[in-house]
Amino acid sequence: MEKKKGKLILENGVVFEGSLFGYEQTSVGEVVFNTSLSGYQEIITDPSYYGQIVIMTYPLIGNYGTNEIDIESEKVQVKGLVVGNYENDWSNFDGINSLDEYLKINKTIGISGIDTRALTKMIRSEGAMRGIIADDLINEKELLAGLNEAPVMAGLDLVKFVTTKKSYVMRSGNPEYRIAFYDFGIKQNILREFLKYNVEIKVFSAGTDYTELLDYKPHGIFLSNGPGDPEAVMYGIENAKNLIDKKIPVFGICLGHQLIAQALGGKTYKLKFGHRGGNHPVKNHLTNKIEITSQNHGFAVDTDSLNKDIIDITHTNLYDGTNEGLRHKKLPVMSVQYHPEASPGPNDSKYLFDDFMKMVKN
Amino acid sequence: MPKRTDLKTILIIGSGPIVIGQACEFDYSGTQAVKALKEEGYRVVLINSNPATIMTDPEIADATYIEPITSYYIEKIIQKEKPDAILPTMGGQTALNAAMDLYEKGILKKYNVELIGAKVDSIKKAESRELFHDAMIKIGLEVAKGKFIHKFSEAKEFAEETGFPIIIRPSFTLGGTGGGIAYNIEEFESLVNRGLDASPTTEVLIEESLIGWKEFELEVMRDVNDNFVVICSIENFDPMGVHTGDSITVAPSQTLSDKQYQELRDAAKKIISEIGVETGGSNIQFSVNPENGRVIVIEMNPRVSRSSALASKATGFPIAKIAAKLAVGYTLDEIPNDITKTTPSCFEPVIDYVVVKIPRWDFDKFRSTNPDNDVLGVQMKSVGEVMSFGRNFKEAFQKAIRSLELGRSGFGADGKDVFSYEYLTSLSEEEKSGLKLKVLMKLQTPRSDNIFYLRYAMLLDASIDEIYNTTKIDKWFLNQLREIVEIEKELYGYEL
């Protein structure tokens, strides 16, 4: 593979030089790191990463190529991929394309040969920041100027870029229950998990008024994961509030969790460098057991802001004590910050889909 | 759950003399375990017949017995020291076998001594291949087609049905002693009879061959609350057919997608629950068909294993220490992480580097008239190993070769090859293809020096496909080695 020189410039002015792969372009985004050892294809196609440049801390990326199974949305969502060593000669029985080919098809840039350890340490100490990946020949000053004009993540509604434009229906088996989904940037594996039950799913665009969901006469409501700042998704919070009031079972994951927390009067805040990886231990306070979880979020729910008279804290992150889940004391409402659908990551928390379907059945 | 206060004195069984398949890795784990239990205020008694170990240093345990590891001597120690419990999971197969012997002779019951770390039923289920196979089928996992036989006539029937090659594994032996792979009926008869002799229960498992499949190991831990973590995944560079102790291994696994890896993780979780290891570590081995991803469970060790030492050092997670603490009742979330001090041990380490282990053989010291002395198979032959870290596979691999003390500076290019670079590249096309065939033929049989012949094959213009078809070493690894060879070629292009 021919190597073309490129660079990653951070808003603090630090420049990392490497070689480009994937689709050549200049690309700006919030630079975040993910500690998963595998699962790069799921990560780059996860809509929750929309607008971000993702660093993989595991240094060898591309080993098993890309396939038709590990796809979490219809396209690559990240603005760029930063790796230590891009491995072009992949080997796997499910593989179809190399990661380079896959990024080219999906018009996304990658940069390899970066000291991802130094870069990750910088982001851990200085916090997530914007960055730009570009061809080595482009003038640095010009790039930095462009970078500083790019929007910051806080206050940004990115959901509108990734939500479905039209609603659609999916079924499995002989559907006994109807579940209405708000798509804030849904991962395919959540749909796959739900379709293991006898359900009909109708997926609605994020901005749809809650009354349209009620017209569907759902037995349950699901609020999906998605990118950006939850506080910028005011319409999502309003709709969640109204649906919770209707006493229909509601389940939220990730951004869905944050919107539910806000709808119940809680607050969210931006984490310094976020949780992104497949090894976060979370304590389930209902069972006292530990789950190893898949995580991807830059914002968190402020535990102190939750009204403990109406809300039970169900899950806590053992790394930093941040909130990972809640349940309403009286109403059928549950949500988690992490990703029980995994993909990538461990399958320890799949029981949550069972728990929700039990709520729906009652 | 807090630690148990009903226990005062705990007896730890060491692994005895250093033999092939069981060496200093169990001194490492045993020493950690003694320290961990003393730290918790228990009185620790140790038996190990090997004085050349750290664990038998006087300041390590409260009382140390350098005596043969047999039920006769252990009973005497029990009479004298009156331990409340025995921790048998730190001293390899020797300690586990000794504990089972104590149980079967009624000694544990007689003196009211409890086994901690692994219970008798779990050990039986994991160690008896028949019970293990039944357990795997019960939880919906696949095992290789196989049969337990107690005499050769039973074995013959199976061979007629499945055809060759067939793997022969005697039950309850160290490092697979007495096992082998049979490619025809003559070899089969001799191996089966040898296996029957080697097995203390005159029991041999004969199995469909998974030779050439990919091999993976997971080092896992579980506590009394059913919390489960994978400490490390390990991928074997050498395919199935070469004993893990004789394989080059790499951590973490390199060639599985996340979903494929999670399938192994889910299986490991089911296995450790079904076998019932509640308080400690286990090592679980899987085989994956490189064509279609079919997963076969190979075996599980319900104890600290050879790979635990590697996994501990590769990740910084002290498996033996934590396993000892779990054995006395702690849960993973109650034990602080050694590295961060502030977060609990209930997590899965992630690393941003690659770890390579290469075995070290010493056939010069074990001279034999048998020219196949250094053929690698299901019986372990290496006498030690090196591990190394790198920011990529190539770096870790090169460092490991240097560490082997074979006098080699790395993967070739040090003037110490059987076929020099100049020689190989000066050959005519015809000579090249002739030698290439010879090299590939040699590579068909796994041997201790094959790694260097992979390079010769590459310098003789063998394609990755040709080498893969001969060796079944995953193409990802072969391509990594090819990249090293390409750099060598490039360097030869420059003048000093």
- Residue located via tokens 């380079």: A100
DSSP for residue B2: P
- Alpha carbons A40 and A65: distance in angstroms, whole number: 10
For residue A341, indicate whether it is catalytic: yes
Residues A88 and A110 in one domain: yes
Q: Which residues of A touch B342 (CB under 8 A)?
A: none
Better-predicted residue by pLDDT, B129 or B428: B428
Whether residue A153 is contained in a domain is answered as no
- Alpha carbons B308 and B313: distance in angstroms, whole number: 8
DSSP strand pairing (B9-13 vs B85-87) = parallel
Structure confidence by residue, pLDDT tens digits, B328-350: 999 999 999 888 888 889 999 99
Number of alpha carbons in the 13 Å side-chain half-sphere of residue A77:
28
Q: Which residue of B has its CA nearest to A319?
A: B343
B5 contacts: CB under 8 Å, gap ≥ 6: none
> What was the pLDDT predicted at A1?
66
Residue A106's CATH number: 3.50.30.20
Q: Which residue of B has its CA nearest to A118?
A: B352
Residues A201 and A325 in one domain: yes
The pTM of this model reads: 0.94
Residues A183 and A86 in one domain: no
Residues A199 and A305 in one domain: yes
- Alpha carbons B346 and B331: distance in angstroms, whole number: 8
Structure confidence by residue, pLDDT tens digits, B65-122: 999 999 999 999 999 999 999 999 999 999 999 999 999 999 999 999 999 999 999 9
**Mean pLDDT on A23-38:** 96
Contact A64 B291 (CB under 8 A): no
- Alpha carbons B321 and B71: distance in angstroms, whole number: 26
**A57, A60, A69 member nearest B254 (Cβ):** A60
Whether residue A280 is contained in a domain is answered as yes
> What was the pLDDT predicted at A261?
98
Residues A342 and A223 in one domain: yes
Residues A214 and A192 in one domain: yes
Better-predicted residue by pLDDT, B89 or B180: B89
Which phi and psi (to 5°) does residue B388 adopt?
A: -150, 160
Whether residue A338 is contained in a domain is answered as yes
- Rounded to the nearest angstrom, the minimum Cα separation between B369 and chain A is 40
Whether residue A316 is contained in a domain is answered as yes
For residue A275, indicate whether it is catalytic: no
- Rounded to the nearest angstrom, the minimum Cα separation between A56 and chain B is 9
- Alpha carbons A114 and A332: distance in angstroms, whole number: 47
B197 contacts: CB under 8 Å, gap ≥ 6: B178
Residues A299 and A329 in one domain: yes
Residue A164's CATH number: 3.40.50.880
Per-residue confidence at A155, pLDDT binned at 50, 70, 90? Answer: confident
pLDDT at B22 over 90: no
Number of domains in chain A: 2
Q: Which residue of A has its CA nearest to B227?
A: A290
8 A C-beta contact, residue B486 and residue B464: no
8 A C-beta contact, residue B54 and residue B60: yes
Residues A41 and A180 in one domain: no
Boundary residue ending a domain (A148, A174, A204): A148
For residue A176, indicate whether it is catalytic: no
> What was the pLDDT predicted at B113?
98
- Rounded to the nearest angstrom, the minimum Cα separation between B414 and chain A is 26
Single-letter code of the amino acid located at A263: A
Mean pLDDT of chain B: 93
pLDDT at A10 over 80: yes
> What was the pLDDT predicted at A275?
96
> What was the pLDDT predicted at B20?
86
Better-predicted residue by pLDDT, B172 or A351: A351
Angle between helices B475-492 and B393-403 (to 10 degrees): 80
- Residue located via tokens 């498992």: B205
DSSP for residue A6: E
Residues A107 and A189 in one domain: no
Q: Give the whole-number percent of chain B exceeding pLDDT 90.
A: 78
8 A C-beta contact, residue A56 and residue A32: no
Whether residue A108 is contained in a domain is answered as yes
Contact A58 B351 (CB under 8 A): yes
ipTM of the complex: 0.96
Q: Domain range for residue A259?
A: 159-361
Single-letter code of the amino acid located at B338: D
Boundary residue ending a domain (A148, A183, A198): A148
Q: Which residue of A has its CA nearest to B292?
A: A93
8 A C-beta contact, residue A183 and residue A250: no
8 A C-beta contact, residue B138 and residue B130: no
Contact B255 A67 (CB under 8 A): no
Catalytic residue among A30, A291, A324, A341: A341
Residues A259 and A320 in one domain: yes
Structure confidence by residue, pLDDT tens digits, B137-152: 999 999 988 888 999 9
- Rounded to the nearest angstrom, the minimum Cα separation between A362 and chain B is 29
- Alpha carbons B214 and B236: distance in angstroms, whole number: 7
Q: Which residues of A touch B266 (CB under 8 A)?
A: 347
> What was the pLDDT predicted at B365?
76
Contact B333 A343 (CB under 8 A): no
- Alpha carbons A157 and B362: distance in angstroms, whole number: 65
> What was the pLDDT predicted at B175?
63
8 A C-beta contact, residue B166 and residue B207: yes
Strands in B171-244 per DSSP E: 180-182, 204-208, 214-222, 228-236
Boundary residue ending a domain (A121, A148, A175): A148
Per-residue confidence at B176, pLDDT binned at 50, 70, 90? Answer: low
Residues A10 and A136 in one domain: yes
Per-residue confidence at B495, pLDDT binned at 50, 70, 90? Answer: confident
Catalytic residue among A11, A254, A297, A324: A254
Residues A129 and A171 in one domain: no
Structure confidence by residue, pLDDT tens digits, B372-429: 888 998 888 999 999 999 999 999 999 999 999 999 999 988 889 999 999 999 999 9
Chain B residues whose C-beta sits inside 8 Å of any chain A C-beta: 225-230, 233, 252-262, 265-266, 289-293, 332-333, 343-344, 346-354, 391-393, 474-476, 479
Whether residue A154 is contained in a domain is answered as no
Single-letter code of the amino acid located at A61: I
DSSP string covering A198-261, please?
Answer: SEEEEEEETT--HHHHHHT--SEEEE---SS-GGG-HHHHHHHHHHHHTT--EEEETHHHHHHH
Strands in B326-470 per DSSP E: 354-360, 384-390
> What was the pLDDT predicted at A335?
98
